[in-house]
Structure 1
Amino acid sequence: MQRRLFLKNSLKTLGAGAAGVTAAPFVSTAKAQDTITWNMVTSWPQNFPALGTGASDFARRIEQMSGGRMRIRVHGAGELVPALEVFDAVSAGTAEMGHSASYYWRGKVAAAQFFTAVPFGMNTTETNAWLYHGGGQELWDEVYAAHNLKPFPVGNTGTQMAGWFKQEIDSLEDMQGLKLRLPGLAGEAMNRIGVTTVNMPGGEIFTSMQTGVLDAADWVGPYNDLAFGLHQVADYYYTSAWNEPSAILEGTVNLEAWQALPDDLKAVVSEAARASNLAMISEFAYRNAEALETLVDEHGVQLRTFPEDVMTALYQASQEVIAEQVDDDPESKRVYDSYVAFQKLVRPFSDVGEFAYLKAREAVGA
């Protein structure tokens, strides 16, 4: 009996000791390493649906995946820096991280526009394939390194709407003289067909539409547009998604801060970015469907598509704008050449795969 008790107690002691040996490295590591606390500045209102919450999701994933070794404090637009100064703030080290959209920086880095959206370009699946497998990320790294930044795709709004209009568009003539909020290459194309475009943070759109500063505005899609109440200031919602067939949201890290991270935490940030990117795509697919139903059924929003002459003019103008930029800026040419080559590579399968399926589904009424 005593022998059995002795063995039982010995095994308990051994088990406790073994557990202690197993746990010790984690305990000592946690004590030995200081928690890294970074600030993330964003172009979105704090916790704004999908965009603001996407930034918070990115921060949460980093903290969880690092076991608490990294903590990211997320700041909404205007809390530390204005919405459209994220690029400069992270580049200068005012904040270690940012969450925004690269086409806001076209005046600083012309090639940056291709890392948000290209008019009549690739869809979200194709764009992610270019970034992850087609050399897009490497080009993005190269472009941003000159500005002391390390970029990541951290979210994608998917196919965006063409925008809200106070008046119905029946022809190209109806576009003349309109004041429209629309950034990036698409905004430049709109200018070519007689529209006056401006770039402003999303939080200013409602008031600008309400007071007549704007006649029309692009924002994102049904989910975010409903959140801003844009259906209250315009009746016509255009679905002709030429401008942003895919819209990448970028996470940026100050390059010096990035280089100072140990390799395992670099991996944490990279994988958290990938997870947040894919999570946002799924969320938008769901939330946009819900919000569109609400806009149409409950608020009486009128869905429209641009007439053929408008779409033709926008395509031609887009090609002109892109060609001029590529001719004037070697960096833009390298990025766009890669983008176009990848689009040509993947389009045949996109056409016989997803596009063919969507047409078949529509034909049978499924």
Structure 2
Amino acid sequence: MDRRSLIKRTGIAGVLAAGVAPAVHAQPAVRWRLASSFPKSLDTIFGSAEKLSETVKAMSGGKFEISVHPAGELMPAFGVVDALEKDTIDMAQTAAYYFTGKDPVFAFSCAVPFGLTTLQMAAWKDHGNGRKLMDAFFEKYNFRTMSAGNTTTQMGGWYRKEIKSVADFKGLKMRLGGGVFGESMAKLGVVAQNMPAGDVYQALEKGTLDAVEFVGPYDDEKLGYNKVAPFYYYPGWWEGSADLEFFINLKKYNQLSPENKAILNGATKVAAMDMTSKYQAVNPIAIKRLVANKTQLKAFPKAVIDAGFKSAMEVFAEHEAKSAEFKKIHQDMRAFQRDQILWNRFSEFPFNQYINSVKI
């Protein structure tokens, strides 16, 4: 059986499982550049881009290579969308909600308050309308998307002082991921600031920030937030999951051969699963280390989360009134979420509720 027939009959997953690299016959070598919005020190997130690169190279027999560049090497962390629009890079690895200054719709591709969990996000994008709706929106920015991995449900951030009530948010200078979440927190009195992860530690240390949310125990420990802010809160209601993505220049993608498109599509799935599963493996170990090193782990009071829910729903309504596109995508996501909540009542929720109550 030749390699093309193998790909056609088994799909890219079968090719990967068989350890067979599809050959790119009589085609010129492809050399792409990927700019990440993350520092190389974050082996979970940045590691997804590295996994993509090594997988593409292996599957193509070295005929298709993607060089990976951390934030600041080719451009600033938040400069990747402009670079894609101008055709100066081939790909980016980033979080869509960093770019809600361009349009609040960007947030739906990554995370919104009280949004989808990791499995739900994957289902909405790959088997619901999510990817189709988002890629139609992103066409105007000259890119399409593929998931780079999900951080899973995030923590509620690091604080210099305890959060006992909504009043404690008033005037709090906090680094946030951006978008609808920042607007909803602003309604609670937070002074929201969107900045790259690598700039946050110094701002916390100097006192120009009072709090920061980033991802979860493993990454947050690497960035040293526990050294300058003792209170670590949960849950991060603004990110029931956060789907990071590869933004792919539309012109460059359309120029790829069918074989190289299959290689790229398959390699992104490998990279995405690698990131998501790694977070599940390393976060429990990291949170035990943090607590052992005197991090004060605390749950947000229910009244605080209730206030967050109320303010977030107000922000969604405000954007729906201004943008038909925002409303269309938001309503589609919520309809999908309602079905997921129904199913979870009989599946994951009762199972998790029970397994959390017994000693194993």
TM superposition score normalised by structure 2: 0.91
Residue 362 of structure 1: CA displacement? 2.3
Q: Which residue of 2 aligns with 1:242?
A: 237
Distance (whole Å) between structure 1 residues aligned to residue 309 and residue 33 of structure 2: 40
Deviations 1:9-61 (A, max 9, x none): xxxxxxxxxxxxxxxxxxxx768322100000010112522111111111211
* Distance in 1, Cα, partners of 2:134 & 2:169: 35
Mapping of residues 157-176 of structure 1, within 5 Å: 157-176=151-170
Q: Secondary structure at the match of 1:363?
A: coil
CA distance in 2, matches of 1:64, 1:259: 22
Q: Which amino acid aligns with 1:301?
A: T
SS in structure 1 of the partner of residue 356 of structure 2:
helix
Letter of the structure 1 residue corresponding to residue 198 of structure 2: G
- 1:5 alignment partner in structure 2: none
Aligned partner (choices 257, 268, 275) of residue 273 of structure 1: 268
The AA in structure 1 aligned to 2:148 is V
CA distance in 2, matches of 1:98, 1:337: 28
Residues 1:69 and 2:58 aligned together: no
Determine which of 212, 220, 224 is the counterpart of 1:217.
Answer: 212
Q: Alignment partner for residue 300 of structure 1, among 291, 294, 298?
A: 294
> Aligned to 2:338, which of 344, 361, 365?
344
Q: Deviations over 1:97-149 (max 9, x none)?
A: 00000001111132110111121111101110101101211112101111110
1:318 to 312, 317, 323: 312
| 1:190 correspondence with 2:185 | yes
Deviation track 1:241-274 (CA, whole Å, cap 9, x = no partner) reads 2010110101011110011111121121112112
Aligned partners of 1:176 and 1:195 also within 8 Å: yes
Match for 2:155: what amino acid?
M
- Mapped pair 1:118 → 2:116: no
User: Residues 313-357 of structure 1: CA distance to partner in whole angstroms, max 9, x if unpaired?
Assistant: 100001011111122112111211211111111211112211111
Question: Does the Cα contact within 8 Å between 1:47 and 1:56 map onto a contact in 2?
Answer: no
Aligned amino acid, residue 172 of structure 1: V
**Counterpart pick for 2:354 among 325, 343, 360:** 360
**Does the alignment pair 1:46 with 2:40?**
yes
TM-score (norm 1): 0.89
How far apart, CA to CA, are the structure 2 residues paired with 1:109 and 1:254? 19
Specify every segment of 5 or more residues in structure 2 that has no aligned partner in the other structure, as ranges. 1-22
Q: 2: CA distance between counterparts of 1:212 and 1:167? A: 12
Divergent runs of 4+, >6 A: none
Distance 1:334 1:187 in 2: 21
| Greater percentage in helix | 1
The secondary structure found in structure 2 opposite 1:146 is helix
Residue-by-residue CA offset, 1:52-71 (whole Å, 9 max, x unaligned): 11111112112222222210
Please state if 1:100 is matched with 2:86.
no
Is 1:200 paired with 2:205?
no
- What is the root-mean-square deviation in Å for CA atoms of aligned residues? 1.3
Question: Could you tell me which residue of structure 2 aligns to residue 284 of structure 1?
Answer: 279
Report the Cα distance in structure 1 between the residues aligned to 2:226 and 2:143, rounded to whole angstroms: 37
Residue 219 of structure 1, CA deviation: 0.8
The farther-off stretch of 225-234 and 264-273 is 264-273
Q: State how far apart, in whole Å, the 2-side matches of 1:110 and 1:223 are.
A: 29
**Is this contact kept in 2: 1:237–1:302, CA < 8 A?**
yes
Identity %: 36
What is the aligned counterpart of 1:254 among 249, 264, 271?
A: 249
| Deviation larger for 178-187 or 96-105 | 178-187
Question: Deviation string for 1:145-177 (max 9, x for gaps)?
Answer: 111101111111000001000001111111111
Q: Which has the larger radius of gyration?
A: 1
Of 125, 133, 141 in structure 2, the residue corresponding to residue 131 of structure 1 is 125
CA contact (8 A) 2:104 2:179 kept: no
Alpha-carbon distance in 1 for matches of 2:259, 2:335:
34
Q: Which amino acid aligns with 1:287?
A: V
Letter in 1 for 2:42: F
Within 2, Cα distance between the matches of 1:251 and 1:30?
23
CA contact (8 A) 1:47 1:53 kept: no
Say if 2:46 is the partner of 1:87: no
- Residue identity in the other structure for 2:249: N
Q: CA deviation at 1:227?
A: 0.5
Answer yes or no: is the 8 Å Cα contact 1:49–1:227 preserved in 2.
no
Task: Give the one of 221, 224, 238 matched to 1:226.
Answer: 221
Cα distance between partner residues in 2 of 1:89 and 1:311: 37
Is the 8 Å Cα contact of residues 99 and 249 (structure 1) preserved in structure 2? yes
Give the secondary structure class of the aligned counterpart of 1:238: strand
Q: Provide structure 1 residue ranges, at least 5 long, that are not aligned to the other structure.
A: 1-28
User: Aligned residue pairs: how many?
Assistant: 337
